[in-house]
Structure 1
Amino acid sequence: MSKTIEERLFRAPYLHPRPGSDQPLTVLCSLLSRADNTPLHERRRADNHLLTAAGRVIADPAADAAANAFESNSNLNFEHWGEYWRKVHGVRFIHAEEPDDRSLERLLRYDQLHRFTPGPTHTDAPPYRAPVDEQGKLWPTVIGHIEAYRRPRWDGIAYLNFAGPEDIAVVLGNARVREKILPEDQAIFRDIAPVLSRQYIILPSATGNEAVTLVKLHARAQGTCREAFQQWWLHEHAPLVAEQAGGWARRYVQLHNIGPTEPGHPLYHPQASGIDGVTLLGFASLNDLEDFLRSPGQKAIARDEARMADPSAEQWWTTVGMVLVNRIAPECATARTGSGTT
């Protein structure tokens, strides 16, 4: 008979954290999509992902939803995936099997950011509007007046913090991860796009546990190199965001993509390579986020972004954050002494 092991908690008050520094950490920000039966022309599928119960790759995920080893009932897939990712996969990922395995000590922070469907997105943001007729009256029925749902490309983010790139290899190169976690990834994730990043904390968190995080993906404007975009983003744009969002946001982080841009290199992903940066804005509540998005400050931020970013490539959505590991407290603002690719 199998037994279960109780989750060990690697965050305050269950461990004694150490103060952060003003030096940028290395972050692996992995964009995730769930193992579902969406047609391949609508959502990319990573190699060797989406498996049958026999462990074989499903050739056409839309042809037979029942073949999906993770969840064959498409009506339950999104709910089951969110529950499993946090309650099972998260626990498995931070479970060290051997007493002398110290590799997880290199993992300074691990958050799961689950996309929250009722929250604002770049396609549907406040102020929300009631559908009415030409006289401003509510329709007597919603049938025929329901807009198509526009789903963001990703379902969540795995946010892993390290002191440096060498620690990523120690944690993810562990035999337990290679032999037991990566095969699980192939069954529960449809795609994983790792964004290797240098992290700049502009507004440090007082709690390390914001309930809501706005995730925004940035791509530079045509004719602008990545280094120039990141320098502008850090030194010119960040102070504006801190000033305009500071009344609502409890944390503001810039993740500068330092990952590969060409195939054949470790951690290369065709969609991640086109992302120049990721913004994480943490809020105490969904109401605070919605109020910020309605504010004049957000309009000023959007105008400034249009100077150097490609607005057609902009994507953002709301997530609920779950902290599984956090060895850092208090968090410190990062010294803005440089940026750009290495």
Structure 2
Amino acid sequence: MHNTRQDRLLRTPYIEPKLAGRAPLTVLFSLLSRSDSTPLNERSRAQGFGLDNDGNVIEDPSADPSNNALEGNPNLSFEHWGEYWRKVHGPRFAHVEESDDKSLERLLRYDQLHRFAPGPTSFNAPPYRFPVDDEGKLWPTIVGHVPPYHRPAWDGVAYLHFERMDDMGLVFGNERIRQKIVPEDHAMFRNIAPIPAKQFIVLPSIADNDPITLVKLHARKTGTTRAQFQHWWLHEHAAVVMQHTGGLIRRYVQLHSLGPTEPGEPFYHPDASKFDGVSLLNFASLNDLEDFLRNEDYLAILRDEEQMIDASAGEWWTTISMTIVNRMTHEKTTAIDDRPQPFSGLESL
């Protein structure tokens, strides 16, 4: 039998795992874009992000791509960033320098969701269409017939789980994080849009490591409050999804945003504030996801979403899920608690 416990003990940091409970966790779901040479008028950039080889903020990322501290060759930018994020930044984040530093024990799980460009997106979903001439014949050359590529706004997500909001502040308030990880963030990322959220696991994972995650960013329709949307989403729409899994969805999670919505509020982010919730749908394979998006079950889910969700204000895309830290075993369905949990600010972030 596969020894799940041993797997967890061999994954740094070496912290004893614990059984998952039914209480909703607080998560920090941070939308990320890589530091690259895209012009500023084509992709947003957060203040202080995107550094040159001298450690200064690059005034114009497109002027001299070779001056990017993370990768000077724009042809390698996307793949080098993905490798660095997983193989260097992830282990650095989880590396404990002092034996008495117990801050990471407050982090229950940390997943990196790397956007997978060949996977389905809201801009290009199955069934895929290829260019043909007026008679339905394939062109003898692709030159002049390559469909345009629509890049999503984000390249991935840092998905961190905590038991409560205070634990989030303790982890990110640690001096090691402040002095060595945050400066690294400014060099490797172009933008970070954090969404603090209350997590509801509607369908728990059995495998606990499903490789494909469909990330759907939701914005409520005009005239609806966030509280109204989130109540409908959890108490009505979740049941619709559960009736139409097609036998293919392996995990279904709702993240209910707790973040500020108005400029001037503490930790307001103009990009993160647009979203009232995030759906995470996990699949065993990319083919399962593509099959699901083509069947009647998904169409039924989309029809129900139209009641309260403004599809034009959000987007969705495919990610490869990579677990960096996981202290929880045997994920369970979340117990529903209607009491509101307002955003209290992350004073230590």
Q: TM-score range by the shorter chain?
A: over 0.9
1:12 equivalenced with 2:5 (yes/no):
no
Aligned-pair distance for 1:10?
10
The within-5 A match list for 1:1-342 is: 12=8, 14=10, 16-245=16-245, 247-338=247-338, 342=342
**Higher deviation after alignment, 190-199 or 245-254:** 245-254
Report the Cα distance in structure 2 between the residues aligned to 1:60 and 1:144, rounded to whole angstroms: 31
Measured against aligned partners, the alpha-carbon deviations of 1:244-270 in whole angstroms (never above 9, x if no partner) come to 125101100000001112334443211
**Matched residue type, 1:88:** V
Give the number of equivalent residue pairs. Answer: 334
Report the Cα distance in structure 1 between the residues aligned to 2:127 and 2:109, rounded to whole angstroms: 34
- Cα 1:99–1:70, aligned 2, differ >3 Å: closer, same or farther? same
Aligned-pair distance for 1:20?
1.1
**2:346: which partner in 1?**
none
- Cα 1:265–1:94, aligned 2, differ >3 Å: closer, same or farther? farther
Report the Cα distance in structure 2 between the residues aligned to 1:11 and 1:241, rounded to whole angstroms: 32
CA contact (8 A) 1:214 1:316 kept: yes
Measured against aligned partners, the alpha-carbon deviations of 1:179-228 in whole angstroms (never above 9, x if no partner) come to 00000000000000000000000000112101100000000000000000
Report the Cα distance in structure 1 between the residues aligned to 2:184 and 2:66, rounded to whole angstroms: 19
TM-score by length of 1: 0.95
Instruction: Give the root-mean-square deviation of aligned CA atoms.
Output: 1.5
SS at match of 2:306: helix
Report the Cα distance in structure 1 between the residues aligned to 2:340 and 2:304, rounded to whole angstroms: 19
**1:3: which partner in 2?**
none
**Higher deviation after alignment, 116-125 or 254-263:** 254-263
**Matched residue type, 1:12:** R
Report the Cα distance in structure 2 between the residues aligned to 1:303 and 1:229, rounded to whole angstroms: 16
**Matched residue type, 1:123:** F
**Higher deviation after alignment, 15-24 or 198-207:** 15-24
Report the Cα distance in structure 1 between the residues aligned to 2:246 and 2:163, rounded to whole angstroms: 27
Report the Cα distance in structure 1 between the residues aligned to 2:38 and 2:125, rounded to whole angstroms: 25
Measured against aligned partners, the alpha-carbon deviations of 1:231-289 in whole angstroms (never above 9, x if no partner) come to 00000001111221251011000000011123344432111011000011011100100
CA contact (8 A) 1:203 1:252 kept: yes
CA contact (8 A) 1:48 1:57 kept: yes
CA contact (8 A) 2:246 2:292 kept: no
Report the Cα distance in structure 1 between the residues aligned to 2:137 and 2:246, rounded to whole angstroms: 38
Report the Cα distance in structure 2 between the residues aligned to 1:42 and 1:130, rounded to whole angstroms: 26
**Matched residue type, 2:20:** G
Aligned-pair distance for 1:314?
2.5
Question: Percent identity over the alignment?
Answer: 60
**Higher deviation after alignment, 330-339 or 228-237:** 330-339
CA contact (8 A) 1:258 1:340 kept: no
CA contact (8 A) 1:254 1:280 kept: yes
CA contact (8 A) 1:230 1:339 kept: no
Report the Cα distance in structure 2 between the residues aligned to 1:285 and 1:299, rounded to whole angstroms: 20
Report the Cα distance in structure 2 between the residues aligned to 1:264 and 1:11, rounded to whole angstroms: 45
Report the Cα distance in structure 2 between the residues aligned to 1:148 and 1:341, rounded to whole angstroms: 43
Measured against aligned partners, the alpha-carbon deviations of 1:95-115 in whole angstroms (never above 9, x if no partner) come to 010010000000000000000
**Higher deviation after alignment, 11-20 or 269-278:** 11-20
SS at match of 2:8: coil
Report the Cα distance in structure 2 between the residues aligned to 1:121 and 1:103, rounded to whole angstroms: 37
CA contact (8 A) 2:213 2:320 kept: yes
**2:347: which partner in 1?**
none
